[in-house]
Amino acid sequence: MRLAVLADIHANLGALTAVLADVDARGADAVVCLGDVVGYGPDPEACVDRVRARCTAVVMGNHDAAVATGDGLDVLPADGAVAAEHHRAWLDADALAWLGGLPLAGTAADGAATLVHASPDQPAAWRRLDGVRQVFAQFEAFATPVCFVGHSHRPAVVSNVLGVTTVRPGPRYLINVGSVGQPRDRDPRAAYGLFDAAAMRYELVRVRYDTAQTAARVAARGLPPRLGSRLAEGV
């Protein structure tokens, strides 16, 4: 069972298209999404359609919730709030209802993996996992060998056994797969995770795409220009 795990697509159709082509080339049995399909980027409609068609499980992100309901816009970064309001206007009722009906958590890989956008302990609180103690406390909040998260847009693998940095059978793992549509680890390439549940193998994959083309789409749709220019910097 090879699982492709996508997170934080953020309406970046160029990045999503490149990632799905890479998934197809490598071969995966299923594709899942950890939320934030929309927000920030220029193509929420096409990204929602693509994710609905390709993903066997999708959980809700904070931008999905804000776009679907109009609530929580005030806690987004200023340019993110502007984009979310545009997305709310652009998406049709069916797409908004789908986003608003997404679950906060899910499972995949025949029960081997928990899926959540921000943190398994309080999935609706959209917490940032940036403290060691806070990260280790997460292992009590899921029962599967692996829990996949997104939200920070920064890839990471944390084991419940200190010193274990490579995924292998035995330890349990909290894995951030990075972001498809807006990486923030100073690597502008799109990121996603490939997980082999039977072998307990994990690989972070990076895929090049045309960031300038997405930036041009950001401008063409009247979104804040910084949402396009930041993509080339990976921030």
The number of residues that bind Zn ion (CB under 5 A) is: 2
Q: Does 8 bind Zn ion (CB under 5 A)?
A: yes
Residue nearest to Zn ion (CB): 36
User: Least distance (Å) from Zn ion to the CB of residue 153?
Assistant: 6
CB of 25 to Zn ion, least distance (A): 26
CB closer to Zn ion, 174 vs 197: 174
Site residues for Zn ion, 149-188, by CB under 5 A, read: none
In the chain, the DSSP E strands lie at 2-6, 30-33, 57-58, 105-108, 113-116, 146-149, 156-159, 173-176, 190-196, 201-207
Using CA atoms, how far apart are residues 205 and 192, in angstroms rounded to an integer? 5
Q: What does the buried/exposed string (b/e) look like for 166-192 if buried means 16 or more CB atoms within 10 Å of the residue's CB?
A: ebeeebbbbbbbbbbbbbbbeebbbbb
Please identify, among the stretches 1-9, 80-88, 89-97, 226-234, the one whose residues bind Zn ion according to the rule CB under 5 A: 1-9
Residues 23 to 42 in contact with Zn ion, rule: CB under 5 A: 36
Structure tokens at 59: 């959980």
Bridge partners (DSSP) of residue 105 are 116
Least Å distance, CB 191 to Zn ion, is 12
Q: Which residues bind Zn ion (CB under 5 A)?
A: 8, 36
